[in-house]
Amino acid sequence: MALNCPVSIGNHLWNISKNDKSWDVSEFEVPKMTFVVGHTGIKAPTGPLVEKVRKFKEHNKFAADIIDEMGIVALQGMNAIRRNDKEDLGEIMTRNHKLLSILGVSCNELNKLVNASLPYSYGAKLTGSGGGGSMIALTDRPEEVCEAIRLRGGNPLVVRTGEEGVRIEHDFAGKELDFQ
């Protein structure tokens, strides 16, 4: 069983797999996309959720099958990003959210925000470990998604790919900076 975790760093897409020991780095232009992150305001520690999934997997082959399917879904998502196929990526995100819900890591508040965003987005899913925290929706209608999230008690934030990120503008001559 492999657990895949694609992440984007700069213009590189990393695919990190566990157990099958796969570490792929793909360089390509990350297309411009708009996402809305909706925060539930609920803090949920990762440890208990990981333990919950581990126990579910130990006692139920169905959970292992779901985790395997999530690995496949993650790779499909990477391919949709490469093709700049927002419709497919959105469907994949929503499918992943449903799988995460079956595993028991979503919660009512996350589901409300995901469901509220769907009429105005290509798709949405929880992000992070679940149990609270945040969700993310891929959209070309960020204002409507933000309003839907606010109406369900969430706090929205619009983020875009393909934009310049954080950069250092001054050379501090090797001095350590304290950002506390």
Lowest mean pLDDT among 30-34, 58-62, 102-106, 173-177: 173-177
Q: What is the CATH number of the domain that holds 69?
A: 3.30.70.890
112 part of a folded domain: yes
Question: Which of the given ranges, 12-26, 102-116, 157-171, has the highest pLDDT on average?
Answer: 102-116
Q: What was the pLDDT predicted at 63? A: 82
126 part of a folded domain: yes
Per residue in 38-68, pLDDT (tens digit) is: 999 998 877 777 788 788 888 888 888 888 8
8 part of a folded domain: no
37 part of a folded domain: yes
CA 163, CA 21: separation in Å to the nearest integer? 32
Percentage with pLDDT > 70 across the chain: 75
Q: What was the pLDDT predicted at 132? A: 85
Q: Which of 162, 131, 174 is nearest to 44 (CA)?
A: 131
Other CB atoms within a 10 A radius of the CB of residue 143 amount to 12
Domains: count for the chain: 1
Other CB atoms within a 10 A radius of the CB of residue 135 amount to 30
- For residue 43, give its domain range: 30-160
Q: What was the pLDDT predicted at 171? A: 60
Other CB atoms within a 10 A radius of the CB of residue 97 amount to 24
For residue 3, name the pLDDT band (cuts at 50, 70, 90).
very low
Q: What was the pLDDT predicted at 1? A: 32
Q: Which amino acid is it at 111?
A: N
Per residue in 80-120, pLDDT (tens digit) is: 998 999 999 999 999 999 999 998 899 999 999 999 999 99
CA 123, CA 82: separation in Å to the nearest integer? 17
99 part of a folded domain: yes
Average pLDDT estimate for 172-176: 61
